[in-house]
Structure 1
């Protein structure tokens, strides 16, 4: 596989600073050498340009930094589309989860019937009327299915990008009340940590892959490092206790790799300011490798 690494150091979608260092931290953790050791060809696009929050007005408190997030999303979507049209696998490194608006829009430009496996402690299915914070990283999935502010929904000039019934959220454990209603209304498949506890990660991921990859449709994997328990991944912007274990996360990645439907991947929310000895970035690299074919035996 020819992998194009794309950095998206966006630090505009959340209140807590530090995730803009994430792409560099993941690269520093040996990403390229490890991918090449698996037999992949790797090229690095570098980072797309992202303005610093201090350089731009915050705008509406209900949609913080809307203008620059739209600008970044448009650029990232074009870069991801170009990678796919060049027969490359886009691996996008964040940055907060608002970057998935651009990464998934770029994939959807090429793959019109796209399935999503969204591994995250949060649903990211708020709109401005339901969001308690106004942080756009919590609105991305809703925007991709055409819900919310039109400037978010119409990245690239069209909407919706996704069918909500092709989306599977895995590992959720922190959902806002209005967000819960929207998820139910739009029939998004949500597997909470309670579901993981009851049925086991193997069963959950088998169902997730069957839903997202139905009729052999392509899958985009979006991995938020806060899906893991903070004991495993201390360097994230919005940690929530009771998350995935080390082996549960690896099993999820290994099963996505085995299904052979994944066409793109993003990894988000590595916050090096809050990390310990780059542990979360090192773990991110391990999980990327599992998703891209590394086996124990």
Structure 2
């Protein structure tokens, strides 16, 4: 699907076809509650909010998978591995099917372990269609642990390592190739809680990372300008931009409804600018929304904030602004 460059009015975005995919599991997380995330987004009126922007939304409902067994860490250093593999396979298959229908998938998690499935599907699709994949990872955490290095064994701390070929073999190979994508395809933004082993992993992989110190020193505008380099203008028409949005990217003062909050994250206006600048590229082609935990929220305010930010991601702005490229999915 292609949207010709123009402004962000509803009439011009009417050709965007998006599919909501609910994946209600917290099997990879340390706390219960993220399984309720998809329905919290529905209560916050995600679909109607997008439809007001001219996006044609289809909601697949929630996929069904194994329950959370709350297992202790197994001998390989991971919790609930079998169940995590089942859920990531479900995520992979659903996202891939939506992409093959020329629609934009919005995966509503669930914990961030699911991104190993969604991004594996995007990587497979990009290989099949000859597109270049760029992944923006908005998160307080790097999620670069391996089974050997993880202090908890929780799988939601391992998806980046797995996508780079360093996680459990079955998870690393989910896209049909190991690694699913090169580390150079990633850009992580907002990090402020990174384990010592993850610091070494980031360095060894050469991941592009803008932690909160970088945001403090450079400002969100400059960070996003660097992160989005090459996503607009000549030579960018073959780029598939995937956004993996962990709710704990946001400062917990404005987004308390998440299982692993870390103080000192982006404020409301910084987060809005981040989303607006992504929208300006016109390249967003797939989206994860993960780690929304309504059990820890206050009157669903975090889900409502997320819906507000996603509207900006799909072109809502104060004034009419030019789009640098075409939406591709």
Alignment TM-score > 0.5, same fold? yes
Question: How many angstroms apart in 2 are the aligned matches of 1:279 and 1:44?
Answer: 22
Is 2:143 aligned against 1:121?
A: no
Partner of 1:100: 115
Question: How many angstroms apart in 2 are the aligned matches of 1:64 and 1:254?
Answer: 37
Is 2:49 aligned against 1:37?
A: no
- RMSD, matched Cα: 1.6
Partner of 2:267: 245
Q: TM-score, normalization: structure 2?
A: 0.87
Task: Note closer, same or farther for the CA distance 1:108–1:160 as it changes in structure 2 (3 Å cut).
Answer: same
Partner of 1:170: 189
Contact persistence 2:25–2:68 (CA under 8 A) = no
Cα drift, residue 74 of structure 1: 1.2
**Structure 1 residues 70-79 or 16-25, which shifts more?**
70-79
State which structure, 1 or 2, has the greater radius of gyration over its C-alpha atoms. Answer: 2
- Unpaired stretches in structure 1, ≥5 consecutive residues: none
Question: How many angstroms apart in 2 are the aligned matches of 1:148 and 1:218?
Answer: 24
Partner of 2:276: 254
Question: How many angstroms apart in 2 are the aligned matches of 1:54 and 1:147?
Answer: 25
Question: How many angstroms apart in 2 are the aligned matches of 1:164 and 1:61?
Answer: 24
- Unpaired stretches in structure 2, ≥5 consecutive residues: 1-15, 320-329
Partner of 1:136: 155
Cα drift, residue 5 of structure 1: 0.3
Question: How many angstroms apart in 2 are the aligned matches of 1:211 and 1:99?
Answer: 27
Q: 1:116-161 CA distances to partner (integer Å, 9 max, x unpaired)?
A: 1000000001111111111111110110011122122011443211
SS in 1 for 2:287: strand
Contact persistence 2:71–2:79 (CA under 8 A) = no
Cα drift, residue 54 of structure 1: 3.0
Structure number with the higher helix fraction is: 1
Contact persistence 1:26–1:285 (CA under 8 A) = yes
Cα drift, residue 55 of structure 1: 8.0
Partner of 1:69: 84
Moved over 4 A (4+): 55-58, 211-215
**Structure 1 residues 64-73 or 17-26, which shifts more?**
64-73
Partner of 1:8: 23
Partner of 2:245: 223
SS in 1 for 2:229: helix
Question: How many angstroms apart in 2 are the aligned matches of 1:43 and 1:194?
Answer: 39
Partner of 2:39: 24
Aligned residues: 297
Q: TM-score, normalization: structure 1?
A: 0.96
Task: Note closer, same or farther for the CA distance 1:208–1:141 as it changes in structure 2 (3 Å cut).
Answer: same
Q: 1:151-186 CA distances to partner (integer Å, 9 max, x unpaired)?
A: 220114432111101210000000000011011111
Cα drift, residue 58 of structure 1: 6.1
Cα drift, residue 57 of structure 1: 7.9
Question: How many angstroms apart in 1 are the aligned matches of 2:195 and 2:96?
Answer: 32
